[in-house]
Structure 1
Amino acid sequence: MSDTPEANATPISWTGGGDGFLTLLDQTRLPESVIYVNCQSVQDVWDAIQRLAVRGAPAIGIAAAYGVVLGVRDGAMLGAEPPARDPAAAREAALAACDHLATSRPTAVNLFWALDRMRGVVGELDDEVPPAQVGKRLLAEAKAIHEADRAQCAAIGRYGAELLGEFGSGAGILTHCNTGMLATGGDGTALAVIFALQKAGKNPKVYADETRPLLQGARLTAWELMQRGVDVTLVCDSMAAPLMRDQKAQAVIVGADRITARGDVANKIGTYGLAVLAQAHGVPFYVAAPTTTFDLSIESGADIPIEERAAEEVAEPFGRRTAPEGVAVWNPAFDVTPAELVAGIVTERGVISPVSEEAIRANVGAVPA
């Protein structure tokens, strides 16, 4: 455990074999402290996801996959006996873990995609596979999900850097929430593009908005960019309009938690407003996300479930009351940006532009199982 920020902090790691444990960087403690949390049970992982110790759609999926591994030995969850010797009980415990983890947060589709992959592994195991081997097989799948996301991040960075590199060296780029290593298994989605631009010598000037009410942009994105030597300026969410008016930002790039078949994008609350402002000021609005973030079973963004969080996050942020006692609060964690406001979507398979259902299905195809 450390209480000082480190540039090489590892957000998600697994220690040991099938009977090991998951370690998460507690993002609620950044930027003041780098504190790690060891998850020894399914409930530990569920709690970490729900309270945002781990956040970002790809990172949530990765953490949940490791959580299923814990479920094999955590049969006491939901009242079952520990499945130490019974192969059927081991498989049932893993499936129970999948079901429980699926209730942690409703919007990020990567969570459900990762859990479906873990269910698929369970379904492939025969009745004679010993419980220890069940855990090892699930761990291998979780690690494969983690490694695949790392590779996807690198590819997104490359394609995005080619796209945004056309704005020239020192271009201003506005980003929202946090989309870097803290949100993924690699360098990130939108931030991976920025890191790739920096590596290519383009030296972008990044504007990170605070991202209220939980300040992921201020606490996390600004910290990540500073650790990597990127030129970053922190702005309030309400400063985006004059920033674009004054031509300080030549592009906006954000991540996503779910993208529909037609290209509607669910992302952190405030994203929709940025897209509207970008269109009004003639600034291209881009989204960076792996193909695992697409939900081709949903056509319209109106059908995406939007998580609503506690009133205290708005009225009493970080333990300090800033609003009158008893005031009504509406606190959706996400909003949906219509496809027509999106200039392009950067995936690990290339750039989708213009955004249309036909182009999306051609790029995404069958999402890897």
Structure 2
Amino acid sequence: QVRGAPAIALLGCLSLAVELAGGAGPQEDLGALEAFVGQRLGFLLSARPTAANLGREAQRLRGWLRKKVEETPGVTPQELRESIIEYIEGLLAKDRRDNRSIGAHGAEHILGGVPGGGPVTLLTHCNTGTLATAGYGTALGTGRDWGALGGMETQKRMGTGKRDTGWGHRVGTHGDTAPPAPPPAVVVGADRVAANGDVANKIGTFQLALAARHLRIPFYVAAPSSSCDPTLASGRLIPIEERPGTELTQLGGVLLAEPEVDVWNPAFDVTPHELITGGIITEWGEFPPSQL
């Protein structure tokens, strides 16, 4: 399984490239090939309703494809097929560039607000590292740059922090209890950012933001601009994916709860923009939610 909104978007587009490279779709009819690509993109959009990245990349690809057909008279179906594959392969390099920019902007901004510089402790949530993107990371990408600028200790929730030792960081992993001491900053990723700065992310992000606000700890969101959805006025409009209830009522096929127990198991929650006190970090820089 693939986790991480940017990685899902890339995998979806690359799967289309693999199909086209293997000869799928119409071979002789230009319009039919364009329609085939549109149909495949429409199917991919149903895979992850909360994450914005896949929808944004699909929309951009559709727009690019339409422009390519209109502005290249005489283009053959084979030439168009090869151009689509080349375009999609370019998304990998772009995602890596964007991630590195997020890391650089985030590290510089956050470390600049820490008295005395590093080393510092980062508290994050869920998987926002290499495996969630094309190969660098979003929230944890800022951590990689922190190590280069001044050193970092990492505190992660959900037991996903052990891989960070490969970046030369001291790492502590804990469950849903409090970390040993309040960190100077919290940095998380995002699956979708609404126009007003509300953020949908892995379930548990909202309560972490509440705790950070109470302790006056800057709370940051690090995500590529493809995670931003200006068509949604607020987080109330973000569709929230729900996981099977059996994830909470069964373990290894063994029932842990009464059969009649109703379960609501959302995979994401929405953090209001007013709790994002540090800012939203994209490849373009760091912005207050109100200025995104």
Indicate the residue corresponding to 1:161 in structure 2: 107
User: Hey, what's the Cα distance between the residues in 2 that align with 1:171 and 1:101?
Assistant: 40
Q: Is the 8 A contact 2:7 2:132 kept in 1?
A: yes
For 2:94, what is the secondary structure of its paired residue? helix
Q: Is the 8 A contact 1:159 1:350 kept in 2?
A: yes
Deviates more, 1:124-133 or 1:182-191: 124-133
Q: Deviations over 1:267-299 (max 9, x none)?
A: 111000100111111111111111111111111
Partner residue of 2:234 out of 292, 300, 306 = 300
Partner residue of 2:177 out of 239, 248, 261 = 239
For 2:155, what is the secondary structure of its paired residue? strand
Measured at CA, do residues 100 and 122 of structure 1 come closer, stay the same or move farther in structure 2, by a change above 3 Å? same
Q: Deviations over 1:4-58 (max 9, x none)?
A: xxxxxxxxxxxxxxxxxxxxxxxxxxxxxxxxxxxxxxxxxxxxxxxxx112111
Partner residue of 1:151 out of 97, 117, 121 = 97
Indicate the residue corresponding to 1:35 in structure 2: none
Equivalent positions of 1:107-118 (< 5 A) are 107-118=50-61
Indicate the residue corresponding to 1:334 in structure 2: 268
Q: How many residues align?
A: 284
Normalising by structure 2, we get a TM-score of: 0.90
Measured at CA, do residues 261 and 66 of structure 1 come closer, stay the same or move farther in structure 2, by a change above 3 Å? same
Q: Is the 8 A contact 1:256 1:267 kept in 2?
A: yes
Indicate the residue corresponding to 1:324 in structure 2: 257
Equivalent positions of 1:112-261 (< 5 A) are 112-123=55-66, 124-125=68-69, 128-165=74-111, 166-167=113-114, 168-200=117-149, 202-210=150-158, 218=159, 221-236=160-175, 238-240=176-178, 243=179, 247-261=181-195
User: Hey, what's the Cα distance between the residues in 1 that align with 2:18 and 2:208?
Assistant: 40
Please state how far the C-alpha of 1:110 moved relative to its aligned partner: 0.5
Indicate the residue corresponding to 1:96 in structure 2: 39
Counterpart residue identity of residue 193, structure 1: T
Q: Is the 8 A contact 1:190 1:253 kept in 2?
A: yes
Q: Is the 8 A contact 1:68 1:118 kept in 2?
A: no
Indicate the residue corresponding to 2:249 in structure 1: 315
The runs of 5 or more residues in structure 1 that have no matched partner are: 1-52, 77-81, 211-217, 361-369
Q: Is the 8 A contact 1:62 1:146 kept in 2?
A: yes
For 2:217, what is the secondary structure of its paired residue? coil
Please state how far the C-alpha of 1:133 moved relative to its aligned partner: 2.2
Please state how far the C-alpha of 1:116 moved relative to its aligned partner: 0.9
Measured at CA, do residues 86 and 269 of structure 1 come closer, stay the same or move farther in structure 2, by a change above 3 Å? same
Identity of aligned residues (%): 38
> Which ranges of 4 or more aligned residues in structure 1 deviate by more than 3 Å?
70-76, 126-131, 319-322
User: Hey, what's the Cα distance between the residues in 2 that align with 1:153 and 1:174?
Assistant: 19
Please state how far the C-alpha of 1:88 moved relative to its aligned partner: 2.9
User: Hey, what's the Cα distance between the residues in 2 that align with 1:90 and 1:99?
Assistant: 14
Over aligned residues, Cα RMSD in angstroms? 2.1
Indicate the residue corresponding to 1:275 in structure 2: 209
Q: Is the 8 A contact 1:291 1:348 kept in 2?
A: yes
Normalising by structure 1, we get a TM-score of: 0.72
Q: Is the 8 A contact 1:106 1:306 kept in 2?
A: yes
Deviates more, 1:188-197 or 1:61-70: 61-70
Measured at CA, do residues 93 and 199 of structure 1 come closer, stay the same or move farther in structure 2, by a change above 3 Å? same
Counterpart residue identity of residue 235, structure 1: H
User: Hey, what's the Cα distance between the residues in 1 that align with 2:156 and 2:37?
Assistant: 40
Q: Deviations over 1:92-128 (max 9, x none)?
A: 2211100110111101101101111221233132685
Is 1:262 paired with 2:196? Answer: yes
User: Hey, what's the Cα distance between the residues in 1 that align with 2:233 and 2:46?
Assistant: 23
Q: Is the 8 A contact 2:123 2:186 kept in 1?
A: yes
The runs of 5 or more residues in structure 2 that have no matched partner are: none
Q: Is the 8 A contact 1:173 1:205 kept in 2?
A: yes
User: Hey, what's the Cα distance between the residues in 2 that align with 1:104 and 1:339?
Assistant: 26
Q: Is the 8 A contact 1:75 1:93 kept in 2?
A: no
Q: Is the 8 A contact 1:263 1:338 kept in 2?
A: yes
Counterpart residue identity of residue 213, structure 2: Q
Q: Deviations over 1:65-98 (max 9, x none)?
A: 112224447897xxxxx42333333222211100
User: Hey, what's the Cα distance between the residues in 2 that align with 1:54 and 1:136?
Assistant: 26
